[in-house]
Amino acid sequence: MPLVLETVRALGLDEAARAHLPGPKRQRGFAPQEKLEALVTLIAAGGDRVEDVRVLAEDKGLEMLLGRSFPSPDALLDFLGQFHDPKCWEERPAEKKAYVPRESEGLRALEAINRDLVARGAERSATLATIGHDGTIIESHKREATLAYEGTRGLPAAGGGVGRTATGPGRRVP
């Protein structure tokens, strides 16, 4: 987890989130960038649901590295709720069974944050990049599904990312 936190901080997740997400509704509590950082940490730790943040919150070393406590599952769920916009579904034609709605304003903001971080990670000044790929197998009974290592049939998740590691005096790049 320390490398995940170091990477998102080096890429400026907090700055990008402040630029693209609306500010907090209340002055107390966690800022949107703190909730986003907690969600990134939760996903990197293999969390399946927002309730899993409780496990991370028990790790005092990780909390010390984070520099604060973790938001509650309810706070994270409320934060995630802002990315859903029921109005996007109102345009669905009645005769369509399968439909992909337009992206909500919140999802477009997350896309902008993602673009900012990828652009910063791909800067020419970067001297070291780490490419990560999610090896999660999603159980499926489709014809294309293959046998996974643990014996289930499934399809690979389409997840991945690129991170830049900052270098400075005293840090050698292999």
Q: In whole angstroms, how far apart are CA 101 and each of 4, 82, 85, 110, 113? A: 32, 16, 10, 16, 21
By three-state DSSP, how is residue 133 classified?
strand
Q: pLDDT band at residue 168, thresholds of 50, 70 and 90?
A: very low
- Residue that is written with structure tokens 């289930």 in the block: 152
Q: Are 34 and 40 in contact (CB under 8 A)?
A: no
Q: pLDDT band at residue 113, thresholds of 50, 70 and 90?
A: very high
The pLDDT tens digits for 43-66 are 988 888 999 999 999 999 989 988
Q: In whole angstroms, how far apart are CA 90 and each of 94, 99, 100, 164? A: 10, 11, 12, 40
Q: Which residue has the higher pLDDT, 3 or 37?
A: 37
Q: Are 53 and 47 in contact (CB under 8 A)?
A: yes
Indicate the pTM of the whole model: 0.68
Alpha helices in 11-165 (DSSP H): 13-20, 32-44, 53-57, 60-66, 73-81, 105-121
Say what percent of the chain tops pLDDT 90.
Answer: 34
The Cα–Cα gap between 80 and 39 comes to 10
